Amino acid sequence: MKRHPLNPILSAKDIPYEASLVFNAGVCKWQGKYVMLFRNDYGSTEEDWRAARGAGKPYPGFSTNLGVATSDDGIHWTPGPKPVWAVRDDEVLRVYDPRLTVVEGRVVVCFAMDTRHGLRGGVATTEDFERFDVKSLSLPDNRNMVVFPERIGGDYIRLERPMPVYSRYGKTEAFDIWLSASPDLRFWGDSRLVLGAERVPYATTKIGPAAPPVRTPKGWLATIHSVRVSGRELSSWEGGWRKEYCAGLMLLDLDDPSKVVGLSREPFLPPVEDYETAGFRGSVIFPGGMILEDSGEVKIYYGAADTVECLATASLDELLRLCEPLP
């Protein structure tokens, strides 16, 4: 992977409204432009967190909204004048971590939603990035949903990451990648396990989907996020942070995407650069967008250190070569 020399390509200083952490964005190509829907956490700063930590006081916390940015080249981004989506009421605490897929000319937005009764994964559509029509919200706890860019067997298909706890007999955060199908983006079923966390050599706890998959001649190419708990404390604003998030790759069968036909044996994007290892939560790499260009270049957009949004590129052939058959 080549990290883009302009990284981070979007951060709080670029945003014309209150912003502290700009990351975990979804990206798609739509109506002749690149469009990014990003997560913006705001309401406190690094200084506030460090002051609270030094004084042994409770951490200040954030509010969250989603912002939009557009680009002609996928590298230089212009944010819109105001946030486009935020939900907070008696039940819903926030929506965050959006993912974008264009399916049959329509933009499908997947998102996570924190509620007072659990974490839910949502699927919405938008025609203008101003109004979002929510089609479905999962039962808790589930999130990290990404929709495939085509129907398969007549159905919309999504990857997702439920969070079973009670049934995993003491394993902490042993979370896996699943798949569900829907005729209409509203009713989801036919759910199947795709990849158990234990099959990913570089995960010590959970894995999950990252950016929406793209079609390649060899299969659906999909990024995953994988978590390993570090033996040492990692840099963070809050202290005590130990989870290293890396990006891996998997290749899924074109006709039956619940079948994994390839997996990268190592993370293809581990946290290395300063903007990846230091921030609100250091050593976190979380891809949310992948664009396959006609030239064969793949652009991968990722949140770094839960603080900024970055871009890395590679050729499709190189990425496919990394996906080796599972043992």
Residue 286 in the binding site for ligand BMA (CB under 6 A) = yes
Question: In what helix (H) or strand (E) does residue 319 lie, and over which residues does it extend?
Answer: helix 316-322
Residue 60 contacts residue 44 (beta carbons within 8 Å): yes
Q: How far is the CB of 59 from ligand BMA (least distance, A)?
A: 14
Q: x/- binding map, residues 95-124, to ligand BMA, per CB under 6 A?
A: --x---------------------------
Q: Which residue has the tokens 């067997």?
A: 153
Residues contacting 287, CB < 8 A, separation 6+: 210, 211, 223, 225, 247, 269, 300, 301, 302, 303
State which of residues 284, 285, 298, 310 lies at the interface with ligand BMA (CB under 6 A).
284
The answer to whether 290 touches 212, Cβ cutoff 8 Å, is: yes
- Nearest partner of 284 among 313, 249, 309, judged by Cα: 309
Binding mask 129-168 for ligand BMA (x = CB under 6 A): ----------------------------------------
Residue number with CB closer to ligand BMA (281 or 299): 281
> Is there binding between residue 306 and ligand BMA (CB under 6 A)?
yes
- Among 9, 1, 25, 14, residue whose Cα is nearest residue 306: 25
Only one of the segments 59-67, 99-107, 145-153, 281-289 lies at the binding site for ligand BMA (rule: CB under 6 A); that segment is: 281-289
93: CB partners within 8 A, 6+ apart: 114, 115, 116
Between 97 and 316, name the residue whose CB sits nearer to ligand BMA: 97
What's the CA gap between 241 and 239, in Å, rounded? 6
To ligand BMA, the closest distance from the beta carbon of 147 in angstroms equals 18
- Contact pick of 99, 161, 281, 299 for ligand BMA (by CB under 6 A): 281
Contacts to ligand BMA by CB under 6 A: 24, 97, 245, 281, 284, 286, 303, 306
